Structure 1
Amino acid sequence: MNAITENIKKIPGWIITGIVIGALYLTGLHTEVIGQLQRIILATGFIKPTIEEINENTSPSGNTAPTLVADYNFNLLSLNGEQTSLESLKGKVIFLNFWATWCPPCIAEMPNIQSLYEKVNSDKIAFVMVSLDQDPTKAQKFIQKKGFTFPVYTHNGSLPISYETQVIPTTFIISPEGQIVTRKDGMADYDNQEFREFLQRLTQPGKI
């Protein structure tokens, strides 16, 4: 045993690191590990969504742009196979999030989205978590494993131009009036008092 231990000590650190990383990738655990590390970063509270509303004079990049109108012609399929669309949620504040099981930042932010959902979900605020996994069963198994209860869907058809993004996770907040009032590319800690109050404020008529 001592001889084995001594031989292991002689192996360069970079080789051991490579073996560990390779093992994580082969077992598919790298996504979970990286996601957990990024969750620690989120726990610092430094990465929060911008709640300055987009209006007729601003855009996500800060450039002058027309009002961003939500596209409700977005067909969805629940993990149970039920067909629906964003149209059925018209008139509500919609928390629309695009994610995937292979995306570490998505995994990192999901626990605080679940916490937010438990605190603000109502008949005025709807959560639409859209999985971009090619195999819906992967999303279903992941959600069940984690015990998340927010509504999860896959997109049934093409993705509307309004929600096209080069980054995931990406989250859109849609007002009851049908405007995309804010957008966040990348992970964020949504379960904070400022953001909860922001969502609640949007449910009140004439607040945008």
Structure 2
Amino acid sequence: MTPQYDVLVEGSSLAFHGGFFGISSIVLVTSGKTRALFDCGHGVTRKLLLNALEARGLAPGDIDLVILSHGHFDHVLNLDLFPGAPVVMSLTEREYVETPFDEDWVTPRILPMLLEGRELRLTDGEEEILPGVTAFPTPGHAPGHISLELSSPEGPVVLAADALKTAREASTCIPDLEFDPEKRGAASLREVLRRGRIIVPGHFPTIRTDESGRLSWTGVQEMPLLFR
């Protein structure tokens, strides 16, 4: 079975003095009759996500599964939109979010409460979580980070989330913002690049690679500013 993917919210790395917008990619993955979201964003992307679903004739209740790449605020805080959907995340990340490192300022301490009472499906290592959709560990940005590999006629598609956030990371293999003391981010970057012909980063438009490893992309990061 060949799954389908659709980028509902395109990630962006735009920031301002003292912080960043946290616009992370949100991807709809369809495998058979199952509609899954890979990450769900936070307040800044909430309306973008709802509008994107509506434009496709969908509502939050049509989402059957939420897959979390990791537990950072810009990837998880819209979980309340999908109260009936089971949640897939790694066992390592589920354990980690209970007691994040003191210097970890991006994992919301309320996340265990948001997960309480939900049906959880915890991955441990590489695992096919839906037909044609394989979750694999990509630790570094977060200790239990996972990415997804999808089969496609154009070659393997990797939904990288923050294992590969930007074109800069892809071109240098130097990770930004590692919250894993084992510093496994560079190895995860290389694994994403090894696997993917099409890569959807966490905070950048879609990147393509050729047989020689050359990177290309056509999207640009845009942020219309409205003053109120």
TM-score, normalising length: structure 1: 0.30
Structure with the higher fraction of residues in helix conformation: 1
RCO (CA 8 Å, sep 6+): is it higher in 1 or 2?
1
Structure with the higher fraction of residues in strand conformation: 2
TM-score, normalising length: structure 2: 0.28
